[in-house]
Structure 1
Amino acid sequence: MIEQAKVIKTENQYQSYLSEVQALLLADPEIGSAESERLELLTVLLENYENQNYPVEAPDPIVAIKFRMQEKGLKQTDLVPYFGTRSRVSEVLSGKRPLTLQMIRALSVGLGISAETLIGEPETKGRTDQEIDWSRFPAKEMVARGWIQKATGQAKRTIEQQVQDFVAQIGWQLGDAAFKRSISGEAFSPTTKYALYAWLSRVIQKARERKPNIGKYAESALSTQTLRELAQLSWFEEGPKLAVEYLEKMGVCVVLEPHLKGTMLDGAALKDIDGTRVIGLTIRHDRLDNFWFTLLHEVVHIWKHVGEDDTFMDDLDSSASTDKREAEANRLAREALIPRVVWKRSDAHLSPSKEAIDTLSRELRINPAIIAGRIRREKGNYRLFTELLGHGEVSRVLSYLSHEGQA
């Protein structure tokens, strides 16, 4: 008789459950079985114990800014547009001057640091309680991308009328309030609302163009096994293309569309009005490690979270989300790529090196970029193993998707 799982209170109990999880992972239990349910329960208990005993404190705003500077290779002079002058940059980073609301807004949009981190107050996600201001859509960029035409002369329809027609094509409900679709995720903010809705409109249009290539979706199609199979497609040189084809056969449409200026968007997950499941990817960071984590994160949203009127828009550089659905998507994506019990005991985690990365890559049959990316993120050192990340590989393999729907 299997002992009933309990909240972990001791290190010995933690190690015991860790060993049991390893054994269950090796057994690869069938989804829905008692063993599978116990595996999921133990995983949650282990994560809860780790969070309580090895908590990650919310970063100080200045620490968060300096961390993002290091990540992006920025110098103090690069922050002048957000602060106004060089002296203000120096004073803020040295703690002599507090952040102003204007600085916080600029940093949130420009560097992708959440307002929660900068001011200690959670942002309100997806609020749509103001009337639509069509003039705030990024019309110039929409014209440049060929989504709408440049207005020339009085007889031509105005830019704002074209924007309205562009959005109306996808059948979203519009009324006195702004858009009725509920938006969640770290990429959404009031500042970028109109740019994100324009991007979403384009993604849905491209998804409808691809619909003849998409299989019929079944509610039972996605599972932890699906995530594992997707992760192992990363082992192949054409892995991103194989993953897209795999998902399309299962009824999930994958669309590529670069993000619009000012947005910090990696991916999105939604259901179209006809029920088609859609994943939108920006390839904002054209690296294999980012692609695979973003794809699996969005697949979890499709599997577990997307409803009739829900859309998830994700900035996966952000780590301050309080949304349990985002936390679950992160956890399941991480577990599918590199199971926790394997990671904690691997040399790649304990003593990172190219040799250790190669060994774990072969053991799990996943691309080395995924392992290198996890090491970089956990250590907060984005200069490590840059040569292993597969820069430019995603756009190369998925070039056929990038060129679809271009005017």
Structure 2
Amino acid sequence: MDIKVIKTEQQHQDYLERIHSLMLMMPPTRSDEHEELELLITIVEAYENSKYPIEPPDPIDAILFRMHEKGLKQVDLVPYLGTRSRVSEILSRKRPLTVSMIKALSIGLGISTDTLIGINSDDNQSHEEGVDWSKFPLKEMINRGWISENGNALKNSTEDIIKGFINQLGWQSGSLSFKRTLSGDAYSPSTQYALYAWVSRVVQQARKKKSSLGLFDPNVLSASFLRDLAQLSWFEKGPLLAIEFLEKHGIAIIIEPSLKGTRIDGAALKDIDGQPIIGLSLRYDRLDNFWFTLLHEVAHIWKHVHNEETFLDDLDASSDDKKESEANRLAREAFIPRAVWKRSDAYISPTKENIDILSRELKITPAIIAGRLRRELGNYRLFADLIGHGEISRILSTAVIE
């Protein structure tokens, strides 16, 4: 398609139709279609903002108004927001809009990006009014040593202390988004402050490792890379080897227990300089949970993490999100290819002996196989002695001792 600056309304409508068809295709990042979509969005957005921007005061009200005006149902927003459940969560204000959603809705529904971000062009009020600083778990953060409990610090307000904690990251603390979108099954509005504090801590700790990390090359990430990582689970000190392997390739691994009230297994994100970071909470101190969470987050780094989005994962939750499903599939395939799994005796006749045989064949820890059987059969009493309770903390503590 020959793309030019929009000069006529017919040209505008043609571009909108092309954008809609490209969105339905869901082209992969860096493909020709994705590049075309980005260019068309930019051009149409500039045209619409100059000609007839619509700026209702509230993002969700703006979306609902447009839906009513155009006779749209929730299912009609799936191409812009991803899944039916995600549409429902957005419209019920349980989940924030991401940058990609804002762009898609701006073009698809003709709503200005300022409105979707929550900015009224006639209103210069600070975004800080939307932040309840008292909801940050300040006492727990101080108890963990994240914030120094000195006399000068405690004389400041909670807002000043939290801002100081966050601003040292170079992020914007003036709004609840903090220039970073939190998403994933571990995210909830009731825990967003604790989650943001946890992510901030993970990034701070990752920056301390920066000088010891290898150079990150995104091209090295592949199915074979995940398979190589999975097979490190075969070794007794596999978790340590995995951390060393990933950090050699420029991916920082941070172990940080979750804050009270949150349900998070792991996180995948990039720092402001593009440095990939994986945070692990070790919510379940088990080999099967550690390994699957680790590969799930690496899959996010490979396929999904762009710019300011952060994936926060609760792997106990069921999800119909396409990105989460893809990360799960890639992790499962790295450990046990689907064709092998369905034909294996461990799957057909689950016994300790058959689990051991398959683990030796695939060169992976038996904990992974036992964990998968427990989940698929819905029986978490099975093979409790194979999943490695307490093994992760024991193995990681040996690194400190040595």
TM-score clears 0.5: yes
Residues 1:155 and 1:260: Cα distance change in structure 2 (over 3 Å): closer
Percent identity over paired residues = 60
- State how far apart, in whole Å, the 2-side matches of 1:225 and 1:153 are: 52
> What is the CA deviation profile of residues 161-218 of structure 1, one whole-angstrom value per residue up to 9, with x for unaligned ones?
2111001111112335542211221000100100000000100000000111110111
**What secondary structure sits across from 1:348 in the alignment?**
helix
User: Which whole-Å CA distance do the structure 2 matches of 1:125 and 1:400 have between them?
Assistant: 40
Residues 100-121 of structure 1 show CA distances to partners (whole Å, capped at 9, x for unaligned) of xxxxxxxxxxxxxxxx7xxx95
Task: Give the TM-score of the pair, scaled to structure 1.
Answer: 0.66
Query: Is the alpha carbon distance of 1:121 and 1:382 closer, same or farther for their aligned partners in structure 2, counting shifts above 3 Å?
Result: farther
The separation in 1 between residues aligned to 2:153 and 2:141, in whole angstroms, is 20
Task: Name the counterpart of 2:237.
Answer: 238
1:354 equivalent in structure 2: 352
Task: Pick closer, same or farther for the CA change 1:224–1:178 going to 2, 3 Å.
Answer: closer
Residue 289 of structure 2 is matched in structure 1 by 290
2:137 maps to 138
Give 1:226's aligned amino acid.
F
Work out which of the residue numbers 85, 95, 108 in structure 2 matches 1:125. Answer: 95
Instruction: State the SS of the aligned residue for 2:219.
Output: coil
User: For 2:261 and 2:184, how far apart are their aligned partners in 1?
Assistant: 16
Q: Deviation at 1:155?
A: 7.8
Residue in 2 that maps onto 1:333: 331
For 1:267 and 1:401, the matched residues in 2 are separated by 21
Question: For residues 4-403 of structure 1, what are the structure 2 equivalents within 5 Å?
Answer: 122=89, 124-127=94-97, 131-150=130-149, 156-176=155-175, 178-319=177-318, 321-399=319-397
1:401 offset after TM fit, Å?
Answer: 7.8
1:333 maps to a residue whose letter is: A
Shift of 1:397: 1.7
SS at 1:278's partner residue? strand
Residue 151 of structure 1, CA deviation: 6.7
1:56 alignment counterpart:
none
Q: What secondary structure does 2:215 align onto? A: coil
CA contact (8 A) 2:233 2:364 kept: yes
Paired residues of 1:151 and 1:158 also in contact (CA < 8 A): no
Task: Provide structure 2 residue ranges, at least 5 long, that are not aligned to the other structure.
Answer: 1-84, 98-116, 119-126
Please give the alpha-carbon distance, in whole angstroms, between the structure 1 residues aligned to 2:320 and 2:133.
31
Moved more, 373-382 or 147-156: 147-156
Kept after mapping to 2: 8 A contact 1:134/1:164: no
Greater alpha carbon shift after TM alignment, 387-396 vs 358-367 = 387-396
Q: How far is 1:125 from its partner?
A: 3.0
| 8 A contact 2:268–2:305 mirrored in 1 | yes
The code of the aligned residue for 2:240 comes to K
TM-score by length of 2: 0.67
Q: Which amino acid aligns with 2:327?
A: A
Per the alignment, in what secondary structure is the counterpart of residue 308 of structure 1?
Answer: coil
Tell me, what secondary structure is at the counterpart of 1:388? coil
Q: Indicate if the aligned counterparts of 1:132 and 1:178 stay in contact, CA closer than 8 A.
A: no
Cα deviations by residue, 1:197-250 (Å, 9 ceiling, x for unpaired): 000010000000011111011121110001000110000000000001100111
Residues in 1 aligned to 2:154 and 2:327: alpha-carbon distance in whole angstroms: 49
Question: Which one is further off, 167-176 or 286-295?
Answer: 167-176
Matched position secondary structure for 1:352: coil
- The 3-state SS of whatever aligns with 1:180 is coil
Q: Distance in 1 between the 2:398 and 2:147 partners?
A: 22
Give SS of 1:254's match. Answer: strand
Distance change >3 Å, CA 203–CA 388, structure 1 → 2 = same
Q: 1:390: how far off?
A: 0.8
Deviation at 1:126, TM superposition (A): 3.5
| Cα 1:362–1:164 shift into 2, 3 Å | same
User: Aligned letter for 1:336?
Assistant: A
Residues 386 and 362 (structure 1), Cα distance of their counterparts in 2 relative to 1, 3 Å cut: same
Flag the 1:220–1:176 CA change in 2: closer, same or farther, 3 A: closer
- Report Cα offsets for 1:86-112 as digits up to 9, x if no partner: xxxxxxxxxxxxxxxxxxxxxxxxxxx
Q: What is the one-letter code of the residue matched to 2:354?
A: A
- 8 Å CA contact retained: 1:204, 1:272: yes
Structure 1 gaps of 5+ residues are: 1-115
Give the partner amino acid of 1:140.
K
Alignment match, 1:83: none
CA contact (8 A) 2:133 2:158 kept: no
Higher relative contact order (CA 8 A, sep 6+): 1
Question: What is the CA-CA distance between 1:343 and the residue it aligns to?
Answer: 0.6
Give the direction of change, closer, same or farther, for the CA distance of 1:390–1:155 in structure 2 (3 Å limit): closer
Q: C-alpha distance in 2, partners of 1:207/1:179?
A: 18
**Change over 3 Å in CA distance of 1:229–1:178 after alignment to 2:** closer
Structure 1 residues 154 and 341, CA, compared in 2 at 3 Å: closer, same or farther? closer
SS in 1 for 2:234: coil
Q: Which has the higher helix share?
A: 2
- Does the CA contact (< 8 Å) of 1:253 and 1:278 recur in 2? yes
Aligned AA (2:356): D
385-394 or 168-177, larger mean C-alpha shift: 168-177
Aligned residues: 285
How far 1:399 sits from its partner (Å)?
2.9
Kept in 2, the 8 Å contact 1:150–1:159? The answer is no
**Structural RMSD (CA):** 2.3
Q: Could you tell me whether the CA contact under 8 Å between 1:266 and 1:283 is conserved in 2? A: yes
CA distance in 1, matches of 2:228, 2:96: 33
